[in-house]
Every structure is written in C-alpha cells, then in structure tokens.
Amino acid sequence: MLADRFHRKRVTARALIHLVAVLFMLTSVIPRGYGDNIVLPEMGDPSGNFLSPTAERRLGQAFFRSIRSTEPVITDPLLITYIQSLGARLVNSSGESSRHFHFFLIENSQLNAFAGPGGYIGVFSGLVMSTESESELASVIAHEIAHVTQNHLVRTFDAMQRLSLPMAALAIAAVVLGAATSNPDAGLAAATGIQAGMMQQQINFTRYHEEEADRLGIQTLAKADFDPQAMSIFFGRMGKSSRLYDSGKLPEFLRTHPVTSNRIADARGRAKDYPYRQRPDSLGYHLTRSTLRVSSYKNPKAAVTNFSKTLSGKRYRNEEAERYGYVLALTADKQYRKAMKQLDLLLRQRPEQIDYMIAQANLLEKSGRADKGLLVLRDGIELYPGNYALNIHYAQALLGQGQAAKALELLEEQSRLRPYEEQIYKLMARAAGEAGNKSLAHQYLSEYHYQAGDLEPAIQQLQVAMNDSSAGYYRNAQMAARMQQFRRELAEMKRREK
C-alpha cells in the first residue's frame, strides 16, 4: 500500500539463462572449498590494479539500476530519509565518511540485506520488521558497510572483466540477492539461486570476510553509540529461527550470512571489549516499522483491525508509533475523519514532527481541503528547508494545485542533491509537461526510465525530446551524449542476451 512503490520489471528468461551460464563459468574457476583460504588482492590499495574509484562508481550505478528493474525498491520519501540517515550515521562512525554510500529499502517480506559495488546497500522490509531494536537493525547495516569498506564484493569484478558494465552489474545483482526472486519461473530462479549461492560461498562471503565484517561492524556500532551486543543478539535469534527451516528453504539472509554458534560467541566476545550502553530506539525507527507494517497488509481493513486491537490491548513497543500506524491504516481505508482524530493526538504531542505534518497534509488533501494541506507543508519547509520528504510532498501538492512551474523549480533543486532518485525525474516530467515545456518533460521522463533500469523506453522518450526544435544548443548536445550512452548500454545488453 505504499503510495510510491515501484512496479517490478521482469528480466527475460533468455537473459537469466545466460546469467546462469556466466555464473557457472565463474564458479568453476575456483575449486570447491578453496574460497575460505584464498588470498585476494586488496581492491582498495593505491595501485588500483582492478577497479578505479570512477569505474566502481559506474558499476554501482549500473548495479542499482539492475536492482530497480527486478525488485520493488521503496520510494516513500520518509522511509528513504530514515534508512539513509541511519546509514550515514554508521558510515560517519566507520572511518569511511569520504566514501560514497547509498542506502535503500526493498518492499519484500524476506529477511535479507546485501551490499553491492559502489557502496549501494539494500535492506528488505521484512528484515527491518524482524528486528527488535534499532541497534539490531544498525548491526546488520554496519556489517554490510564493512563488506563495502573492505572491498569484499568488488574483488569479484576481477573475474568479470570480460563482461560489459550492464551485464556485470546484472550478474552481481543476482549474486547478492542469491536468486532472481521476482522471476515467475521457479525452476529458472532456483537454478540461478544455486549458481549465485556457489559464487557467494566461494568468493563473496567467505568465512574470513564474514568474520571481518562482524568485527568492524561491532566497532562501528559502538562508535555510533548503538548497543555493541545487538549483533550477537540478532544473529542468535536468527540462528534459533533457522532450525525451523529445511536447509533448502532458509531465508536469504541466513544463506548469504550463515549463523553458527561459534560466530555468535565470537560476536558476543568482541562486544565485551566495548562499554555496555542501553540506547533507546529513535522515534524514526518505530515510525518506519509501523509504516512498513501497514504496507504489508493487502487489505487496509485488516491493518485497521490489527492496529486498533494492539492499541486497545496496549500490545506495542511504542504507543506513539502504533497510533501513527493506525492513522496510516485508517487513511488507506478512507476513514479520514477518524484518522484525523487520532492524528490530532499525535500533533498535540509533537506538532513539529515531519511525519505527522505530512500525514496531516495528506488527510487534508483527501478530505477536500488541499489548500490547507499546502500551507501545512509550506510551514514545514520553513522549519526544515532542506528536508527531502517535505520537499517532495510539497512539490506534489503544488502540482495538485496547478502550480507546476513552482513545483518544477523545487524538484530541479532536489535532483541536484539526489541525482539517482528516480521518482524526482518522474515528478519533474509531470511538472515540465504541465508548465508547457513538452521537450523537457520527455527528457526528464527518459531519465526516470533510465534510473529505473528500463533502457528502451528511456531511448524512446529521449528521441522524442530531441525531435523538438524548441530545445537549445546546450540541451541538444547534452541529450545527444546521453543518447549515445543509452544506446551503447542497450547494445551491450542485447549482445549478451543472444
């Protein structure tokens, strides 16, 4: 029920069959069992023998587009803001603050998290909801950050030098996800999962790499003022739950991050080197979990019933977040008056909470008072000028009120700060079109499709934009260069599919 969730694009069976062959070739290069002791060159050393920072950044961007094309990456601005702020806090405590990272959520009930090239770290909504504290969630993200800082995954690119950039990105995406879970062909997905699992065991997630990621992750947790024991607590709970699964049906996180009693004991022992701190969870953590819980219900009435019962029975970890979830559920069920009454209780307590201001503006708009909702968002931006979530919702509200030019100006400023957030380009395309600039609208729509991992529509939209004589010399040159890039990447993808 997330309003801004993305539709999955299915990868063709032909491309996945080729991918399985590629992964089989790569895994066959390394003898079984050899991965635990293999000594790989340091990818981060000054010599830069295998992958330059620029090449890694390009690979990371292509990797993220591959993820977007197959998985429902969450685009809710509030959820994006939370996961990225949590990730940034951990990065700043890891000693790698100068390195690029991009944290994102995937709407999927599976327990999974992964690190890709270029610092792209994905967390499944199911894993967020399975954590029992913010420190536990932080421990998983800190572990994945360590995989990036120690270049565990990028080292595999050495074995993929013969692949084009898009295909290498697609292969790595399949590896870190463990299987093509969004493909409807179960047999093909299983075959891909087997090959990807072999790849992970032999190269990406060797025992040494996992131990190193645990050690550095715990160190980062402590420096970020989270509970250093949280990693062993979370892994311990995962280890117990793994006994309920057949070996072939383990959650993806447990397959890519195998939990053993020795590993749990090691994590517990390392955590003792740091002072114990019982850190309260942030309100943002609880609000995020409530939002994800609401979106996990297929029927909003079921969500309303659940939150109503937990509130009346006082069965919650945080009453405020539980009430917020109730507001979202009531809104989804179009019970606007009842939702506003519940939201008023929250606003009295925290009138300047961004989540509540956005919920209020949304309810006002749905209740036929969009002009008042616009004022709420405008006041919010005056309090928090650079806030991404407020700016996106304000731009959407401006569009709803026919103020396209003002919305476009606001969105273009946000796109400069967040050049890889595809929903910004979609909104800019709408704003440019409603403002009367059709060529610019097609150009932004092209960028939206490209960031979403869909090359053919990106090329089609860009061609329409280039055919418009109103575009000036600079924009035409810019679009021509972009067209060359798009066509080159599409040609590489098609060659590999044959």
Q: What is Dmax (Cα atoms) for the chain?
A: 68
To which residue do tokens 């810019």 refer?
Answer: 478
The amino acid present at 200, given as its one-letter code, is Q
CA dist 244 → 129, 239, 250 (Å): 19, 10, 9
What's the CA gap between 345 and 353, in Å, rounded? Answer: 12
Cβ count within 10 A of residue 266: 17
The amino acid present at 454, given as its one-letter code, is D
Of 144, 210, 227, 333, which is the active-site residue?
A: 144
Of 96, 136, 210, 214, which is the active-site residue?
A: 214
Active-site residue flag, 144: yes
Render pLDDT for 109-150 as a digit per residue (tens, 0 to 9). 988 898 888 899 999 999 999 999 999 999 999 999 998 888
Looking at residue 397, its pLDDT comes to 97
Domains located in the chain, CATH noted: 13-271 (no CATH), 285-497 (1.25.40.10)
Q: In which residue ranges of the chain is pLDDT below 70?
A: 1-51, 153-165, 167-168, 171-172, 174-206, 240-260, 496-498
What's the CA gap between 442 and 337, in Å, rounded? Answer: 39
Looking at residue 497, its pLDDT comes to 61
Active-site residue flag, 214: yes
CA dist 398 → 299, 332, 381, 411 (Å): 30, 22, 13, 11
Indicate whether this model's pTM tops 0.85.
no
Looking at residue 17, its pLDDT comes to 32
DSSP codes, 391-444: HHHHHHHHHHTT-HHHHHHHHHHHHHH-TT-HHHHHHHHHHHHHTT-HHHHHHH
Cβ count within 10 A of residue 199: 26
What's the CA gap between 351 and 343, in Å, rounded? Answer: 10
